[in-house]
Amino acid sequence: MVNRGVGRKVVFVNRFFYPDHSATSQLLSDLAFDLARGGVVVRVVTSRLRYDDPAASLAGREEVGGVGVVRVATTRFGRGRLVGRALDYLSFYVSAGWALWRELDARTVVVAKTDPPLISVVAAAVARLRGAELVNWLQDLFPEVAGALGMRLGRGAVGGALRGLRNWSLRAARANVVLGRCMAERVIAEGVPAEQVEVVHNWADGAEVRPVVPGANALRREWGLDGRFVVGYSGNLGRAHEFATVLEAAERLRGREDVVFLFIGAGAQRRQVEEEAARRGLGNVLFKPYQPRERLHESLSAGDVHLVSLNPALEGLIVPSKFYGIAAAGRPTLFVGDTDGEIARLLWEGDCGYAVAAGDGAGLAARIETLAGDRGLCDAMGARARRLFEGRFDRAVAVRRWGEVLGTKLQVASCKSQVGSYKSQVARDKLEGGGCESEVPS
């Protein structure tokens, strides 16, 4: 249940919102609608664009699901070129800043996401001038992500200057919501006090995504997967993900007719992965497009086990959200990346999958063979994944936690006397998902 003690208007700012279906939009839409249903006055400052349709132009103002939506005008050069993307970002900074100036006052909490990067700097400046309180919702850490991906923008003097601006906006906030312990450690290492950092994981909707047994899965029948052990990958094949290890494992298992690798989704690396699979002659690798949201439970349940990958250089900067939907579908996860990273820790805690180091294609193939050869073990891991999800990562759990952040954690002074340094036991408990004793979710 949402904390009805918020008693203030909450204004979210992010470049995309419903009806857009991008990941940040879906999470924001879920939270905004649930808070509004709980009696909170909610506004969203967003663009008129859709991530998947640059030509779309949504209404400037409307009310959706009890949420007041303010869509500001921006340029629309799209993601094709860096200069055009920068101009799109710049125009959103200006338009969103003006909209926030009109929306914020001393009774308002503004929640800034991270699309576009550094929107928290604009939100922090306007919030300070208008007397509002700021909460940052960090889906990633920029410019570190850019630097890790090899972009000059994230390195050197420019990267240092952008990082300084970002850190100022984090220190200016009443709370900074991060996606896990590794990201929390990174933020605290930047000089942000531990008491200003809150761990709230992303989520999936457990009512919408539920386990479907293979025999009842229409997609498995349509795609000719009945009777086979399916290693799934669902979602974005982006630059942050590592696929060389997966392709090596597929090549090692090409002689097993009962094992198939299924990629569902799109992204910057999809074409490259398809071409490499074709070059290697991997007939055990299939590619399918994104499926409608109403079939998400079937597409996620199409895999007997699912892959999640992350370039180790990005650990603590990004947390792959794929894991939450996989767990909701009651499937184990094979994580490829840093074996001491965020997802790896969750798999160990929940005993619901395995972590494999990036580059260890032989190790990944061995884990797949273990699960394919022991369906009882695979099913038991999937059941534990669903239990872990219901206790920690369901939509209702996340919304309750957000209600506490917005309604209680803004009273930072009451918490400061209880929280010492990051090394204190209380701070360590905080990084595991808690906070001050009176604010731990029930």
Tell me the DSSP string of 56-91: ----SEEEETTEEEEEE------SSSHHHHHHHHHH
415 pLDDT above the threshold of 60:
no
Report whether 169 contacts 121 (CB < 8 A): yes
- Summarised one tens digit per residue, pLDDT across range 256-288 is 999 999 999 998 899 999 999 999 999 999 999
Assign domain 9-203+400-439 to a CATH class. alpha beta
198 pLDDT above the threshold of 60:
yes
Compute the mean pLDDT over every residue in the chain, rounded to the nearest whole number: 89
CA 220 to chain centre: 27
Tell me the DSSP string of 343-380: HHHHHHHHT-EEEEETT-HHHHHHHHHHHHH-HHHHHH
- Summarised one tens digit per residue, pLDDT across range 282-330 is 999 999 998 888 899 999 999 999 999 999 999 999 999 999 999 999 9
Domain topology for 214-391: Rossmann fold (3.40.50)
83 pLDDT above the threshold of 90:
no
208 pLDDT above the threshold of 80:
yes
The reported pLDDT for the residue numbered 7 is 57
Q: How far apart are the first and last CA of the chain?
A: 11
CB proximity list for 200: less than 8 A, separation 6 or greater: 177, 178, 179, 398, 401, 402, 405
- Summarised one tens digit per residue, pLDDT across range 137-186 is 999 999 999 999 988 888 889 999 999 999 999 999 999 999 999 999 99
24-33, 74-83, 351-360, 393-402: range with lowest mean pLDDT: 74-83
Cα–Cα dist 382/213, whole Å: 11
190 pLDDT above the threshold of 60:
yes
Helices (H) and strands (E) in the chain, counts: 17, 14
Tell me which residue of 20, 344, 62, 302 sits closest to 182, measured CA to CA.
Answer: 344
Domain boundary assignment for the chain: 9-203+400-439, 214-391
Q: What is the dihedral of CA 332, 333, 339, 344, to 10 degrees?
A: -70
Q: Is the pTM of this model over 0.75?
A: yes
- Summarised one tens digit per residue, pLDDT across range 125-136 is 999 999 999 999
41-50, 59-68, 79-88: range with lowest mean pLDDT: 79-88
Look up residue 64 and give its two tokens.
Answer: 């959706």
The reported pLDDT for the residue numbered 420 is 31
Tokens 């998902």 correspond to: 433
- Please report, as a single letter, which amino acid is at residue 391: G
The reported pLDDT for the residue numbered 80 is 66
